Chain A
Amino acid sequence: MHPIYIITIILGIAVLINLFIKIKDRKLIINELIFWILILAALVLISIFPGFAVKVAHFFGFKTGFEFFIALAILVIFLFLFNIYKKMRLLEEKLTKLNKNIAIRQAFESIEDKEHKKLIDEDNKKIT
Chain B
Amino acid sequence: MKRMQKIYIVIPAFNEAGAIEKVIEDLLNYGYKNIVVVDDASTDKTSENVNKFNIFLIKHPVNMGPGAAVKTGIDFAIFNGADIIVTFDADGQHLAKDITALIEPVISNKADISLGNRFLNNTSNVPIFKKIILKAGAALMFLMYGVLSTDSHNGLKALSRSAALKIDIKSNGWDYCSEIIEEIMLKKVKYVEVPVTVKYTDYSIKKGQKIYNSFYIISKMFVKWIFG
Contacts and interface: CB of A to CB of B under 8 A. Distances in A.
Interface of A: 82, 85, 92-93, 95-96, 99-100, 102-104, 106-108, 110-111
A93 B59 CA distance: 18
Contacts of A92: 172
Contact of A82 (B57, B72, B170, B227): B227
A104 B76 contact: yes
A82 B223 CA distance: 11
Contacts of B61: 99, 102-103
B68 A96 contact: yes
Given A82-B227, A104-B79, A107-B56, A95 B62 contact: yes
Which 8 A-B residue pairs are closest in the complex by CB-CB distance? A107-B58, A100-B72, A103-B58, A96-B68, A103-B60, A99-B62, A104-B76, A99-B60
B38 interface: yes
Contacts of A110: 57
Nearest to A110: B57
Interface residues of B, number: 19
Contact of B71 (A95, A96, A106): A96
Nearest to A89: B170
Interface in B176-223: 223
Given A96-B172, A103-B60, A104-B76, 15 more contacts: A92-B172, A93-B170, A96-B71, A99-B61, A99-B62, A99-B64, A99-B72, A100-B72, A103-B38, A103-B59, A103-B72, A104-B72, A104-B75, A107-B57, A110-B57
Interface string B117-133: 00000000000000000
Nearest to A92: B172
Q: Is the interface of B mostly helix, strand, loop or mixed?
A: mixed
Contacts of A108: 79
A117 B202 CA distance: 41
A111 B72 CA distance: 16
A83 to B, nearest CB: 11
19 contacts: A95-B64, A96-B64, A96-B71, A99-B60, A99-B61, A99-B64, A99-B72, A100-B72, A103-B58, A103-B59, A103-B72, A104-B58, A106-B58, A106-B59, A107-B57, A107-B58, A107-B59, A107-B76, A111-B56
Contacts of B64: 95-96, 99
A109 B38 CA distance: 15
Interface in B70-98: 71-72, 75-76, 79
A100 B170 contact: no
Contacts of B58: 103-104, 106-107
